[in-house]
Structure formats: C-alpha cells, structure tokens
Structure 1
Amino acid sequence: MGTKILDNEFLTYFKTLKNPPKKIYYKGNLELLKRKKVAIIGSRKMNLYTKKCVEELSSILKNKVCIVSGGALGVDISASKAALPNTIAIFANGLDQIYPKANQKIIEEIYKYGLALSENEPNYMPKKYDFLLRNRLVIALSDCVIIAQADLNSGSMQSAKLALELKKPLYVLPQRLNESQGTNKLIKDNKAKLIVDFKEFALEFGIKEEKEQDEFLEFCQKGISVEEALAVYGDKVYEYELEGKIDIAGIFIKVIK
C-alpha cells in the first residue's frame, strides 16, 4: 500500500496551529476524517488499570467516533487497537517506516483498515523533537482530548496545554495518587473534566447503550398464558413477577414496560 499526499483541502483541519503542516502524507481510509474525532493519548508506561480503561472506552466510542492517537507504545496503540477500524494514527516517522517496531502488526492493520497520517517524508526516521511536533497534529485534528495517564513533565502534558490553548474540551481518567500526577494536577487546577462513567460520556456523542434482548419477555409479548410460560420457563415466571417485570392477570401474562 503506497503512501499518498492529502489534498490541500484536508490541511484546513490543522489551520488553527501556529505552525501548521505544509504537507500531509497518508495511508488508509480518508472517510474517517469526516467523523467526529476524539484523541486518546497518554503514557507509554501505562499501568494495567489504564490499559483496561482505554480499551473499554475506545471500544464504546468507536461505534460513532473516530479515535485519534499517536501510534506510540502504551496508551496510544492500545486506544487505536481497540478502536479499529475507526482510528486515525498520526506518526512522527514517515509512513514507509514502521516505528516503533513493537507495534508493527497493529500499525499495518491501521494502514489497511484505519487511517495513518504523517507530515514527514515516507522514509523519514524521527528525531526526539518530532514526537512533540506530531502531538500538535493529534490535538488540532481532534474535537476533544482525553489524557488517560501522564506524568507531570511529559509530552502528554504539553499536549494538554495545547488543547487548552486551542479551546479543545479536555478530559482525564480517574487515577490513584502518585500514579498519574499530570492528570491529577489537571483535575486539581480545574483544567480537565473527569470521566467517571464511560457510557454516560459516550452519550455526548449520541452513543446509547443497547439493551440486551430478554428472550423470556419477548416470549411473553405474544400474549402467552401462565400455563404456557410455566411449561417453557418454569420458575422464571414467578421470579420476573417478583422483580416487577411482568404482571399475572388472570390466566395471562402482561409485560410491564
């Protein structure tokens, strides 16, 4: 899959930056740029709790949202992997180079099913400063930013500063003391909102939790008699009556909505 150059119209996504990119290379599905975009970024050395949170949140949001991240170790790649195919990864390296190699399998899946972007030439290998430059693209492209875990003096905190400058809504995940001093400080300073319920947060993007189908209630919707229900489901009939899910009216069962 060859590296292509974005049309200039797409560069408008980055026009709010003081130093916007002059050129963007890509591999993958450009249709993802049209979706609502949420950045999930954070520490390369995330704890297990953060990893599980990032995976769960990305999995919920990907139903209607495209997850944007940096393709790095830790939070970035976990967010992208859980969100596939609805993920955009922005790289500091050129897209004909896979970096870091540890993420090669997932990065190749992003190239194929998601979208990868970079402002650097296809064979470019990144210098240390390129990662901070890459981060500014992640923030500019996203409608809001979630920092999952971050130390005080980290690239993620520089990204948080830029998000505030660009007036992007900023969110963090709850963390234990001393495990994510950067995000805890953002909460303390009232610079970020705390996400305490992933499904409630998803409602902001129109993602509603799908109710699980209840086979027994669907059965009762057909105008079933108590005798018929007992024959098929036994004691569940009386369990549901006690829980207030059904009402036994004479010989028939009525589902309580």
Structure 2
Amino acid sequence: MKVVIIEDEAPAAARLRKMLMATSYGIEVDEVLDSLARAKAWLQTNPLPDLIFMDIELSDGLSLELVREVRVACPVVFVTAYDEYWQEAFEYNNIDYLLKPVKAERLEAALRKFSEMKAYFMSRYLQLLANRGHKEKFLVRRGTEFVSIRTEEIAYFQASHKLVCLVRRDGSKFILDRSLAEVEKEVDPATFYRLNRKYLVNTIAIRKVSALPKSKLLVELEPAIKEELIVSSENSAGFKKWWGK
C-alpha cells in the first residue's frame, strides 16, 4: 500500500511514518510533504498513492483548500489536533478523522476500514468484468404485456416439445422465442449449467444432489419438477466441478 503524508511538523510526521511502517499492511511511504505548496506541486506531477494522511492546519494554510483545489481523487485520512473540521472533512474522500496524538488502535482501525472498502470495491469491479457480455435480463411476454426478468430471478430454463420455458424462482413460467442452446450462450456459465438436453439451471435452484449407480447424479430443483432430473455419467464430473466452485 503506497501512502503519502502531508504534515508540517517533522516530529509528528516521523512518528506517523514509524507507526504506519509497523503495521501489517505492507505500507510504503512514498513522500512526506511539509506544506500546501509542496503538496500541490507533488499531487499535480505524480501518480496518486493508495491513501493520503493529511494534517489539516499547515504552516501555509488549511489542507482542505488543497483538496478543494486539486480535487484529490484518492482516499484521505485527516490527522489534526483540532476537532472542528470533521464535518467538512467528510465532504471529501475522507476515510477517517484522527486526532493527535494518533493512537495505534485508531490508526489500525482506519487502515482496516480502508482495506475492507478497497476489497469490496475490487470484488464488485471483478464481478462486473466477469458479467460483461452476459445477458442481465430477459424480456418475456405475459398475455399482452411484456415483462423484464433479471437473470438472478431465474431458477432454470426448461425445454419441452420444441418450446423453451423460463421458470422464475417463484415458480411462474414464461415461454421464450429462442432455443435452449441460444440461451446457454447468453447467460453466465459460472451461474448457469446445462444439466442435460432439457434443463439449463441456475446454481441457486439446486436443492439437492444425490449419487446414482454408474456415476450418474440425481438433481432436485427448487421450484420442484415432476420428472427425475438425471445427469449422465459423462457429464457428472463436469457438473461437480462447476457446482463446487
């Protein structure tokens, strides 16, 4: 984790740096800047760090002016001896507001909060990438109306008598105007699996899986179906690998 410290008191900057380096977050302090002028010049000519620790009252002004002017896009932890600025500080990318002298447990809490937020947004970003190109909803017809159904509402797709039905998790059914093979290409393979020639199922719809002779599998769905849903011995290994992800 790359960090920049903006602090005009050398002892306070050295203490904060030492505390940061002693944590378990693998922190590298890229720069210690002791004025608004130096901080502004540095931020305008260097890549932003992961996190900035910023004193509010510096020798040449308030660092809140810097945040307003430069539009600092990365998260900031404000460090100050004064508590009157905390409301304004939270108008910006403020992760936490630490009062001097900074206590180790408060610093640890701020770093933990930042790490948890970073992990959350990264997971959301990766999820969006994974879902890119896959259909997020299906437009189906109900009488004279059209209904938009999101893929997470779908339990499974069922092919029967040359028709394909979309079955929602509440049990309602809708006829689609495409083949099961076409639907299979449109949905996320991490979420939907083609069990056999008749069923393409969402992992959330699988209620129970039982072993049968000759390596076959019996799959029970929710909503339930009247027939036995058998995964052949040829497909059972692939299904178990997918389901166990």
- TM (norm. structure 1) is 0.23
Q: Going by fraction, where is helix more abundant, 1 or 2?
A: 1
- TM (norm. structure 2) is 0.24
Q: Going by fraction, where is strand more abundant, 1 or 2?
A: 2
Structure of larger gyration radius:
2
Report which structure shows greater RCO (CA 8 Å, sep ≥6).
Answer: 1
